[in-house]
Amino acid sequence: MGVGDVSKRILLGRKLRSSQLGETLLSKRIALPVFASDALSSVAYAPDEVFIMLSIAGVSAYAFSWKIGIAVAVVMLTVVASYRQNVHAYPSGGGDYEVATVNLGRKAGLTVGSALLVDYVLTVAVSVSSGVQNISSALSFMQGHETEYAVGLVVVLAAMNLRGVRESGAFFAVPTYGFMLGVLGMAAYGAIRAFTGDLPQAESADLRLAPDPSYAGNLSQIALIVLLARAFSSGCAALTGVEAISNGVPAFRKPKSKNAASTLLLLGAIAITMLLSMIILAREMGLKYVDPADIERLTRADGSALPAGYDQPTVIAQVSKAIFDGFPPGFYFLVAMTGIILILAANTAFNGFPVLGSILARDGFMPRALASRGDRLAYSNGILILAGFAVVLIVAFQAEPTRLIQLYIVGVFVSFNLSQLGMIRHWTRHLKTEKDASERRRMVRSRVINTFGLAMTSVVFVIILVTKFLAGAWIAILAMVAFFILMTRIRGHYDKVSEELVAGDEDQLLPTRVHALVLVSKLHKPTMRALAFAKATRPNVLEGIFVDTDPETTDALLKEWDKRNLDVPLKVLYSPYREIIRPIVMYATSIRESNPRGVVAVYIPEYVVGHWWEQLLHNQTALRLKGRLLFSPGVMVISVPYQLRSSEAALERRVDELERVRAGDVRRGRTRRR
Amino acid sequence: MGVGDVSKRILLGRKLRSSQLGETLLSKRIALPVFASDALSSVAYAPDEVFIMLSIAGVSAYAFSWKIGIAVAVVMLTVVASYRQNVHAYPSGGGDYEVATVNLGRKAGLTVGSALLVDYVLTVAVSVSSGVQNISSALSFMQGHETEYAVGLVVVLAAMNLRGVRESGAFFAVPTYGFMLGVLGMAAYGAIRAFTGDLPQAESADLRLAPDPSYAGNLSQIALIVLLARAFSSGCAALTGVEAISNGVPAFRKPKSKNAASTLLLLGAIAITMLLSMIILAREMGLKYVDPADIERLTRADGSALPAGYDQPTVIAQVSKAIFDGFPPGFYFLVAMTGIILILAANTAFNGFPVLGSILARDGFMPRALASRGDRLAYSNGILILAGFAVVLIVAFQAEPTRLIQLYIVGVFVSFNLSQLGMIRHWTRHLKTEKDASERRRMVRSRVINTFGLAMTSVVFVIILVTKFLAGAWIAILAMVAFFILMTRIRGHYDKVSEELVAGDEDQLLPTRVHALVLVSKLHKPTMRALAFAKATRPNVLEGIFVDTDPETTDALLKEWDKRNLDVPLKVLYSPYREIIRPIVMYATSIRESNPRGVVAVYIPEYVVGHWWEQLLHNQTALRLKGRLLFSPGVMVISVPYQLRSSEAALERRVDELERVRAGDVRRGRTRRR
């Protein structure tokens, strides 16, 4: 295949493929599952956390469980109402980061950015851990090895995302609708059995639950309030993921904001229904659930200890197993869907994290090269960093969702709060200029909603902070501070550089002359091409330069040079110690010294090869020479590539690379590229 | 500090330093220690190996020890006599590799090259292990942790060499003359004590030595011969390092060859004296020495076992401790000198290995970039590879010299043999043309010496191969074969490429026009400089190109472009997916397509920065763009550097780097660079 063919194929291939690129916008029917996995999956672990917290005061405290469920539902509805305002006001998909930055300034935006980065890491850790915990309720061979399986899953997810996941509507729709169907079906069936007086008991109903020693006996009013606050803040884990839609408005069909807002409302309603049904059913069925670390508080009815290594099935597993006692496939279906939707939630973090990174990079808070969204480098690095942090957390907390959740929601509420505060500012600012009365009324109403939302979320934030700080939230806060400082430093560096680089009028002065040097090692095709290219630019002076490390080679080259009638003088540089780089740099520098207004152009013939090991065998000296010449002012370095035959394979690989599908494309409204 | 200052400082600084570069040739007095550490240090372990082998047949076999010493001495003298011929015939310092390549062809040369590479690795492993073993004879806290100390020492040596060792004559002279003084002084003092009937017993003299079960009872003639052959081939370890001088002839004062030859003779004489005195003294003093793996064959006189963890002191330690029984400083001095000279021997491998690599690279058997001798990359990689292999061997053989020596000498004798064979060919060839009678006589005599040398070394080689193959020599041979294949492949690749690149007449055709594109991201100083440089080359067409990822930024840039009156059109490329690289590559390719005889010159402004983390923050897109553009035929890439202030620090570091002293400079006759 000739060189012309290759380049034509690239061009045509490209053109075809480009025309296939395009947007497919999401209908509400598809948008719901695409954005719901995050928010709904948290229903799988939130009830467990509520029961664990209440169990501290013994089984009597379970009477409060549905009240806590209601409280969480109220907060959820408030947050949903608030975010419906965001979706209308910021349809560009920037989410909380954009809202905070625009309305509250750079620091607030960066705080939200840091909180979200930490949040993505925790989403992966918590979702995968909870997924493994649920699946192990059905597959008993996994019990006791949760950490290993969770780490393995993170690695698989990272590998899949590095490789490129082919997402589609169905990819999200099947498990999400499956999960909804499973949970709501179970709730309905459970309700029927309850009405007919046929509601079975959960497998832990016969167990005896001892309160935590410090909570034994009659509880003081304050101790009870503290306990309920802790249970409530754990239950708020159900709120994570609600904000996802506000990042995805551009992917909706028109009217985008309206469709996004109604999807959000629907999502909130479903999540609340699921959460409440789970809590009420579990309570009615006599379920007992304690922190796995305190498993000894759970004993047989006769007071004897449970067998060593006893693993509590999750709330969802216990409830569904009992309700579907005459229909095991129902249980297995629900456990499978729970596991899958949790892993799907982790997967969405894998595409959210690099996207957030690219937005932060565009604003100069991350290396600027990460700013182009479709970029593979940004993607790969983001995926690896996310997976690395998640694995560290999973190992440190032994894949126990209960312990990881202590770190989780503080970040979510940081962004909830700043986002609401930003929205209030937004409406206030717009109200200053808006004249139209009905428009003003709508804005005032929105501001009221956001104000109420802020009041609610800030109270919850304080509760979370107080109840979870020592239990682990401090780690998340520390990580946010670290991200914040790092990103501030990066931005500071860019600002400093950009100040240094402001162009003045003197920068428009033209160099007076160009002195071109063509690096010669042998007289082969690459050198000939470099000479031809250099000649074509018609410099004021053109010389070949050759470093003499061995007299025989030099003589042979000089003879061939003459024979070929190249019409270019060849300068031989003497190098007693066989150094190549130093004599060339010195020569180029000295030319520039003697003519400070001129430019030295160094032409370096480069081999373009197809394999990494060929790269080791070629171009190394050229590369280092270039690295060194860049430090000399007034010298420019021209790489004249010569494509070896083996480079064709590499070119194919690179073209494929550019065409590859990336995770999260669906959420951003992109179709497949082939 | 302005840009002019920096460049002036570089230039002046350079000039000064260059004038200080120079050669100091070695007097014989200094040359002896510089080249002796390798050869003499092997005297520290060769006697141990002889006694270990003989011990298999029980203490009675020790009667053969001095005969074996004599046999080794004879071989040593033969080898010395042969290499004196090499030194005269090949004064350029190419050593065995050159002799074999010139006279026997590429494959023989490559075989020698492979053998020497393996040899360097083993020199490090054996010398360091033996050094640690000797030092631990004096410092008992090291006993039982030899492997850790040996690995630590290799790491320290590697780090020192990476950092740059400041060698000097004294660096070699003090320990080498110290070691010679110590051993010969001990021998003299021992001889006096023997004459006065006052020779003390070695500490192991009272122990009982049981023969190996398979050798118990009366030995058959054949078994005895095999045993003696094994002892002899182990003793031949004393020969390693003798060839070092033949690589260093250029570093001698004139008459170089003559001085080198007499130094070689002197070295051989000293080594033989030391070896024989050690063996005879040890024998006379009743020393018993067994393979550490068979330590249970050594028992107390009453037949009871030695305490667990008993560590035999080395032969040199036992002998010196006894002889200097009234003068402990003598013992400590000798043990210290032994340890140091062994480590010095390992250190010389650290500079020999990269030098050999550079020679092999010059001939296309290693990546060509490694060919420049003074080069840091070649050095660092060589040092790391050598240290890595040595550590693997030390760990695998638990730093036991006895086991490592089984691998060692086979490689040495491969190069001895090929070198002698090459020398015979050399003389035969020269005799064909030489007319002068006295010159002919000298050549014939040299050929006789080399022929005798070959006969001797080939017999020894066969003995070594037979006695050591299964004991470990197969590993060394396998490694040689691997190096040989790898290097053949590399050379094959270079040959193929070089064939592909032979220039024809059509390569002299000039491109008809130059279409220049200047990559614009912002209108700052780097861009202005790139534009100015591009303009200075007066291309047929000149355009700025900008990738539009955000309409606002594009508008702002277009306005500023107009305002500045740049006199260059700005082409805006549309990129719906915020990709940067693809649109540029497509545009450049399409220009070239429409004008296949033209050249596209892409000017990329590059930031030159001072720290690696700044590199992460800048230039990443430019780098990848360049990597991709290189695959497009007819496109050349011009880096226009802009030096940020922070780059000055990096420049200083790089200049320092170039000036750094390298290990082995003394052996190559170079003075310090500052």
pLDDT per position as a tens digit, B448-469:
999 999 998 999 999 889 888 8
Cβ separation of A633 and B368 shorter than 8 Å? no
| pLDDT recorded at residue A673 | 40
A368 reaches B (C-beta below 8 A):
yes
- Clarify whether residues A191 and A321 are in a common domain: yes
| pLDDT recorded at residue B328 | 87
Cβ separation of B503 and A528 shorter than 8 Å? yes
* pLDDT band of B206, cuts 50, 70, 90: confident
* Identity of the residue numbered A606: E
Tell me the per-residue pLDDT of B336-349, one tens digit each, with 9 for 90 and over. Answer: 999 999 998 898 88
pLDDT at B9 over 50: no
Q: Which residue, of B470, B495, B520, is where some domain finishes?
A: B495
B7 reaches A (C-beta below 8 A):
yes
Contacts of A381 in chain B (CB under 8 A): none
Residue A59 is classified by DSSP as G
Residue B506 is classified by DSSP as G
| pLDDT recorded at residue A581 | 83
Q: At what angle do helices B328-362 and B146-163 cross, to 10 degrees?
A: 50
- Clarify whether residues A257 and A381 are in a common domain: yes
Tell me the per-residue pLDDT of A144-174, one tens digit each, with 9 for 90 and over. Answer: 889 999 999 999 988 887 776 555 667 778 8
* pLDDT band of B375, cuts 50, 70, 90: low
| B455 assigned to some structural domain | yes
Q: CA–CA separation, A571 vs B464, rounded Å? A: 54
- Clarify whether residues B558 and B597 are in a common domain: yes
Q: CA–CA separation, A384 vs A363, rounded Å? A: 22
* pLDDT band of A9, cuts 50, 70, 90: very low
Residues B12-19 have a mean pLDDT of 33
Number of domains in chain A: 2
What single string gives the DSSP state of each residue in A595-645? -TTSEEEEEEEEEE-SSHHHHHHSSHHHHHHHHHHTTSTTEEEEEEEEE-T
| pLDDT recorded at residue A206 | 86
Cβ separation of A645 and B500 shorter than 8 Å? yes
Owner of token pair 């270079």: B494
Neighbours of A380 (CB within 10 A): 14
Give strand pairing partners of A545. Answer: A519, A571
Q: CA–CA separation, B405 vs B403, rounded Å? A: 5
Closest chain B residue by Cα to residue A579: B372
* pLDDT band of A13, cuts 50, 70, 90: very low
Q: CA–CA separation, B189 vs A79, rounded Å? A: 96
8 A C-beta contact, residue A158 and residue A516: no
Q: How far apart are the first and last CA of chain A?
A: 24
3-state helix, strand, coil in chain B (%, to 5): 70, 5, 20
* Identity of the residue numbered B91: P
Burial bucket for residue B44 (CB in 10 Å: 0-12, 13-18, 19+): buried
Interface A-B: count of C-beta contacts within 8 A: 255
Q: Cα torsion at A591, A593, A597, A599 (round to 10°)? A: 40
| A649 assigned to some structural domain | no
Closest chain A residue by Cα to residue B641: A630
- Sort residue B197 into left (φ over 0), alpha (ψ -120 to 50) or beta: left
Residues B41-50 have a mean pLDDT of 90
| B430 assigned to some structural domain | yes
Task: Report the length, in residues, of chain B.
Answer: 674
Residues B570-594 have a mean pLDDT of 85
8 A C-beta contact, residue A642 and residue A609: no
- Clarify whether residues B475 and B527 are in a common domain: no
| pLDDT recorded at residue A7 | 38
**CA of A507 to nearest chain B CA: how many angstroms apart?**
6
Which of these, B410, B42, B73, B404, lies nearest to B240 by C-alpha position? B42
Cα separations in angstroms, B511 against A231, A325, A574, B540: 77, 82, 32, 12
Apex A26 CA angle, A24 and A27, nearest 5: 130
* pLDDT band of A5, cuts 50, 70, 90: very low
Give strand pairing partners of A661. Answer: none
B649 reaches A (C-beta below 8 A):
no
Contacts of B510 in chain A (CB under 8 A): 532, 535-536
pLDDT > 90 fraction of chain B, expressed in percent and rounded: 36
Q: How far apart are the first and last CA of chain B?
A: 25
Contacts of B491 in chain A (CB under 8 A): none
* Identity of the residue numbered A514: V
Tell me the per-residue pLDDT of A565-584, one tens digit each, with 9 for 90 and over. Answer: 888 999 999 877 677 888 89
* Identity of the residue numbered A99: V
Cβ separation of A490 and B617 shorter than 8 Å? yes
Contacts of B536 in chain A (CB under 8 A): 510-514, 599
pLDDT at A603 over 90: yes
Q: Which residue, of A495, A516, A536, is where some domain finishes?
A: A495
Tell me the per-residue pLDDT of B474-483, one tens digit each, with 9 for 90 and over. Answer: 999 999 999 9
**H or E element at residue A284:** helix A256-284
Cβ separation of B528 and A510 shorter than 8 Å? no
Q: CA–CA separation, A543 vs B116, rounded Å? A: 42
Three-state DSSP at B643 gives strand
**CA of B353 to nearest chain A CA: how many angstroms apart?**
17
- Clarify whether residues B523 and B466 are in a common domain: no
* pLDDT band of B15, cuts 50, 70, 90: very low
Q: CA–CA separation, A412 vs A241, rounded Å? A: 9
Three-state DSSP at B328 gives helix
- Clarify whether residues A348 and A451 are in a common domain: yes
Q: CA–CA separation, B294 vs B317, rounded Å? A: 20
| B250 assigned to some structural domain | yes
Q: CA–CA separation, A625 vs A630, rounded Å? A: 9
Contacts of B635 in chain A (CB under 8 A): 641
3-state secondary structure B259-294: HHHHHHHHHHHHHHHHHHHHHHHHHHCCCCCCCHHH
- Clarify whether residues A361 and A416 are in a common domain: yes
A208 reaches B (C-beta below 8 A):
no
Q: CA–CA separation, B187 vs B323, rounded Å? A: 9
Burial bucket for residue B309 (CB in 10 Å: 0-12, 13-18, 19+): exposed
8 A C-beta contact, residue A331 and residue A339: no
| pLDDT recorded at residue B16 | 32
* pLDDT band of B671, cuts 50, 70, 90: very low
Owner of token pair 């690599």: B357
Between B23 and B628, the more confident residue is B628
- Clarify whether residues B514 and B370 are in a common domain: no
For the question of whether the overall pTM of this predicted structure is more than 0.90, the answer is no
* Identity of the residue numbered A595: N
Q: Which one of B489, B501, B567, B568 would you mutate to disrupt binding with A, by most A Cβ within 10 Å of its Cβ?
A: B501
The shortest CB-CB distance from B536 to any of A10, A511, A635 is to: A511
A570 token code pair: 């060849």
Residues B41-56 have a mean pLDDT of 90
Owner of token pair 């107080």: A466
Tell me the per-residue pLDDT of A109-155, one tens digit each, with 9 for 90 and over. Answer: 999 999 999 999 999 999 999 999 988 888 888 888 899 999 999 99
B514 reaches A (C-beta below 8 A):
yes
- Clarify whether residues B163 and B68 are in a common domain: yes
The shortest CB-CB distance from A608 to any of B500, B509, B630 is to: B630
Residues B370-394 have a mean pLDDT of 80
Three-state DSSP at B501 gives coil
The answer to ipTM > 0.95 is: no
Residue B672 is classified by DSSP as -
Contacts of A371 in chain B (CB under 8 A): 578
Tell me the per-residue pLDDT of A223-261, one tens digit each, with 9 for 90 and over. Answer: 888 889 989 988 898 888 888 888 778 778 888 889 989
Q: Which domain holds residue B517?
A: 506-643
B12 reaches A (C-beta below 8 A):
no
| pLDDT recorded at residue A657 | 57
* pLDDT band of A662, cuts 50, 70, 90: low
8 A C-beta contact, residue A451 and residue A425: no
- Clarify whether residues A488 and A516 are in a common domain: no
| pLDDT recorded at residue A11 | 34
Q: Which residue, of A495, A524, A542, is where some domain finishes?
A: A495
Q: Which one of B580, B638, B662 would you mutate to disrupt binding with A, by most A Cβ within 10 Å of its Cβ?
A: B638
| A656 assigned to some structural domain | no
Phi, psi of A280 (to 5 degrees): -65, -45
Q: Which one of A508, A575, A602, A651 would you mutate to disrupt binding with B, by most B Cβ within 10 Å of its Cβ?
A: A508
Contacts of A670 in chain B (CB under 8 A): 577
Cβ separation of A525 and B514 shorter than 8 Å? no
8 A C-beta contact, residue B555 and residue B570: no
The shortest CB-CB distance from A630 to any of B512, B538, B608 is to: B608
Q: Which one of B636, B646, B665 would you mutate to disrupt binding with A, by most A Cβ within 10 Å of its Cβ?
A: B636
A561 reaches B (C-beta below 8 A):
no
Cβ separation of B633 and A618 shorter than 8 Å? no
Give strand pairing partners of A603. Answer: A518, A638
**CA of A336 to nearest chain B CA: how many angstroms apart?**
36
Q: How much is the mean pLDDT over chain A?
A: 84
- CATH number of A516's domain: 3.40.50.620
Tell me the per-residue pLDDT of B91-116, one tens digit each, with 9 for 90 and over. Answer: 887 788 989 999 999 999 999 999 99
Q: Can you point out the beta strands (E) in B140-285? A: 208-209
B430 reaches A (C-beta below 8 A):
no
**CA of B149 to nearest chain A CA: how many angstroms apart?**
33
B436 token code pair: 């002068």
A590 reaches B (C-beta below 8 A):
yes
Q: CA–CA separation, B619 vs B622, rounded Å? A: 5
CB interface of A with B, residues 327-346, below 8 Å: none
pLDDT at B8 over 50: no
Owner of token pair 């003390």: B200
| B625 assigned to some structural domain | yes
A647 reaches B (C-beta below 8 A):
yes
Closest chain A residue by Cα to residue B368: A617
Q: CA–CA separation, A482 vs A479, rounded Å? A: 5
8 A C-beta contact, residue B50 and residue B63: no
- CATH number of A69's domain: 1.20.1740.10
pLDDT at B669 over 60: no
- Clarify whether residues B302 and B411 are in a common domain: yes
Cβ separation of A601 and B508 shorter than 8 Å? no
Neighbours of B366 (CB within 10 A): 26
| A651 assigned to some structural domain | no
| pLDDT recorded at residue B622 | 82
| pLDDT recorded at residue A378 | 61
Question: Could you tell me where the DSSP H helices lie in B285-400?
Answer: 315-323, 328-362, 376-396
Q: CA–CA separation, A660 vs A163, rounded Å? A: 9
| B561 assigned to some structural domain | yes
Cβ separation of B620 and A4 shorter than 8 Å? no
Tell me the per-residue pLDDT of A508-531, one tens digit each, with 9 for 90 and over. Answer: 777 878 999 999 988 888 899 899
8 A C-beta contact, residue A83 and residue A243: yes
Q: How much is the mean pLDDT over chain B?
A: 84
- Clarify whether residues B518 and B482 are in a common domain: no
* Identity of the residue numbered A38: D
Residues A628-648 have a mean pLDDT of 85
Of A420-429, A656-665, B144-153, B642-651, the one with minimum mean pLDDT is: A656-665
B527 reaches A (C-beta below 8 A):
yes
pLDDT > 70 fraction of chain A, expressed in percent and rounded: 90
Q: At what angle do helices A3-20 and A647-659 cross, to 10 degrees?
A: 10
The shortest CB-CB distance from A503 to any of B508, B525, B580 is to: B525
